[in-house]
Amino acid sequence: MELEIISKISDINPREWNEININFHPFTSHEFLSSLEDSKSVSPETGWQPQHLILKSNKKIVGALPNYIKNHSYGEYVFDHSWANAYERAGGRYYPKLISAIPFTPVNGPRFLYSKSFKEDVVKLICKALKQLTVDNKLSSCHINFLSDNCKETLKSSNWIERTGLQFHWENQGFKNFDDFLKLLKSQKRKMIKKERNYIINSNISVKKLSGEQITSSIWDKFYNFYLKTIEKKWGGAYLNRTFFQKISDKMGSKILLILALKDNEVIAGALNFIGKNHLYGRNWGTIIDIPFLHFELCYYQAIDFAIENNIKTVEAGAQGPHKIKRGYLAKPTYSYHYIPHKSFKDAIANFVKNEEKEVSEQINYVNTIGTPYLKK
């Protein structure tokens, strides 16, 4: 097999890329990744220099890995700022580094894309190539974030450090409707959710769910305004520009669910979701009016409604938020993998990750047992 490194995903035919994106995971699709690059949300200027790995057999693409050289750690959501500080205090240079991730998207999914018959060879060859690129370019490290597929043993057996994190996901247990879901919750949580949803109804707020061509350019303008106001209020700067949202709408509109809140016939808030094969992924939200419980209604309860109505198994509602637990979401582990050539630095990170993993496991166990919002079976 031949290895190529490309600096623009647009150099790859979309059909060829998507053929190895098994089950069409929305965030590893050519449509999503090219929208990031075409809009300049991802570029060397924003600190994300594409270095996608492509494997070909008889000139046909049989494997790939979305990959970037980074000169910072923003927009990744597997936090290694303390690693960078420690390495640089010791006289090293942590940046640039190599990372396989979906920019600004803390979502579990495949990173190694492959034709089924080439899976084992693709994973081994790309792992080897990543390590070689890291060493040859004198980079501090290489990272693979939010990996969900079954390539983990290959990585662990070839000197990669596994790091465990956690998120909060909602699981559809074959519910017929929202009330069916509420029946499984503890009384206090059930009453709280009903109170929050009734507050929204009594505030004369209505909800619309849009997808595909239903989402017009003017609606995207409104949503982007909500997104900017909310991002700037909380974090100070938006990663994604208006062009990005238009690109994903044009390229993959059928995979988008935009949930809007209206008051007095005016759109006041929106939540952007992506539709996978068995998952609904909540990504961005924003509002121009602070209304109690509106965030929970649009981002959590409406997502659950949609999942139940469409027999979707899982709702993943983003990276953060222990507040999701009270609303029926449970803790799930996430995994990232890290290759560090410098032995003493690697040993220090391995020790850090080992201690961290114990804390994360205890937290997951607590949330899903003692702290569960669900009635005991």
- pLDDT, one tens digit per residue, over 181-198 is 999 999 999 999 999 999
Residues 161 and 180 in one domain: no
Is residue 205 included in any domain, yes or no?
yes
The per-residue pLDDT for 152 is 84
The per-residue pLDDT for 201 is 96
The per-residue pLDDT for 70 is 97
Residues 269 and 130 in one domain: no
Residues 10 and 153 in one domain: yes
Residues 16 and 162 in one domain: yes
Is residue 326 included in any domain, yes or no?
no
The per-residue pLDDT for 320 is 74
- Measured CA to CA in angstroms, residue 212 lies from 156, 178, 219, 225, 253 at distances of 41, 25, 12, 20, 4
Residues 234 and 183 in one domain: yes
The per-residue pLDDT for 48 is 97
Residues 136 and 190 in one domain: no
Is residue 288 included in any domain, yes or no?
yes
Question: Per the structure, how many domains does the chain have?
Answer: 2
Residues 123 and 234 in one domain: no
Residues 236 and 93 in one domain: no
Residues 249 and 276 in one domain: yes
Chunked mean pLDDT (size 10), the chain, 377 residues: 96 97 94 98 97 96 98 95 96 97 96 93 95 96 92 88 96 97 97 98 97 97 95 81 98 98 96 97 95 97 98 90 92 96 96 97 96 91
Is residue 224 included in any domain, yes or no?
yes
Q: Which of 146, 137, 132, 150 lies closest to 339, judged by CA?
A: 132
Residues 179 and 275 in one domain: yes
Residues 278 and 338 in one domain: no
Residue-number span of the structural domain to which 302 is assigned:
173-312
Domain of residue 296, CATH code: 3.40.630.30
Q: Dump pLDDT digits (tens) for 295-352.
A: 999 999 999 999 999 999 999 988 777 899 999 999 999 999 999 999 999 999 999 9
Residues 181 and 142 in one domain: no
pTM of the model as a whole: 0.96
The per-residue pLDDT for 319 is 75
